[in-house]
Amino acid sequence: MTRDEPPVESRLDSFLVDGYISEVLDIIKGGKEGTVYRCRSGPLADTSEIVAAKVYHLLERRGFRNDAIYQEDRMRGPAVRRERLAMSKKTSYGRKVQFGMWARAEYETLVRLYEAGADVPRPIACTEGAILMEYLGDESGAAPTLVSVELPHSEAIALFERIMRNIAMWLGLNLVHADLSPYNILYWAGAVTIIDFPQAIDPRFNPNARALLERDITNVSRYFERMGIRIDPARVARRLWDAFCQAVSIN
């Protein structure tokens, strides 16, 4: 933990106090942007007995070292001038702004996508530096990531098409995941659930959007090639991008 990073307990305390969780059980996984904990739900969670709490690392510990390519569409307008300056100078306030920004961004993205019917976990609550969401799995363990699963060809085709439909849906909602891979797609009960959206971008404003969209599709396609599914990621990305540009009238 860095000097300016608050302890994990303080970032989960508000979930405990507010009644969203009643107990922190164990760690599900550690990732480049945070650590996910398995928690017993509280009365306010209004969901199954187990929920997942994602606690974010500060910039110094995150894997997204070059996070400027993801932030270009977020820090706009005079209201964020002070935040921009603080972040550029790497002050304690600037680090705090960045810390909270990623949690808020992911939570707001999950709310939008879940309400639109995308295959994402149900978001439950958000606090500074942590979000609470639906848990995929059971008492014996969390749902595996797609990268650790071998699928029969027929099931692989259906799931691949499902993921591509999700990507197209996100684009229609002005979102690109921007870090999609089999490592952040969960497989449970024959279905996929896609996670890890803190770096998601708005393609209307981010100049890296098309390249990030193609990278997402390429990462997913490489996994499904093992099951005999072959596509041209560049062609698919170009088709989706052209349809998006036509819909929003940009070049």
* Domain shared by 153 and 182, yes or no: yes
* Domain shared by 132 and 165, yes or no: no
Mean pLDDT of 49-58: 91
75 pLDDT exceeds 50?
no
Q: Which of 73, 119, 179, 216 is catalytic?
A: 179
Domain with residue 73: its CATH number is 3.30.200.20
Beta pairing partners, 221: none
Q: For residue 68, what pLDDT is reported?
A: 57
- Confirm whether 1 is domain-assigned: no
What confidence tens digit (pLDDT) does each residue in 116-168 have? 999 999 999 999 889 999 999 998 899 999 999 999 999 999 999 999 999 99
Listed residue (236, 166, 175) closest to 209, CA to CA: 175
For residue 232, indicate whether it is catalytic.
Answer: no
Full residue range of the structural domain in which residue 73 is found:
8-141
Q: Which of 196, 202, 216, 242 is catalytic?
A: 196
Read off the tokens for 234: 């560049």
The last residue of one of the domains, among 89, 114, 141, is 141
d(CA 183, CA 145): 6
Exposed (0-12), middle (13-18) or buried (19+): which is 226, by Cβ within 10 Å? exposed
* Domain shared by 57 and 45, yes or no: yes
Give this prediction's pTM: 0.83
Mean pLDDT for the chain overall: 85
Contact between residue 97 and residue 15 where contact means Cβ atoms under 8 Å apart: no
Q: How would residue 215 be classed by pLDDT, with cut points 50, 70 and 90?
A: very high
Q: For residue 3, what pLDDT is reported?
A: 47
For residue 6, the SS3 value is coil
* 94 against 7, higher pLDDT: 7
- Confirm whether 186 is domain-assigned: yes
* Domain shared by 135 and 154, yes or no: no
Q: What percent of the chain stands above pLDDT 70?
A: 78
For residue 179, indicate whether it is catalytic.
Answer: yes
173 pLDDT exceeds 80?
yes
* Domain shared by 60 and 157, yes or no: no
Domain total for the chain? 2
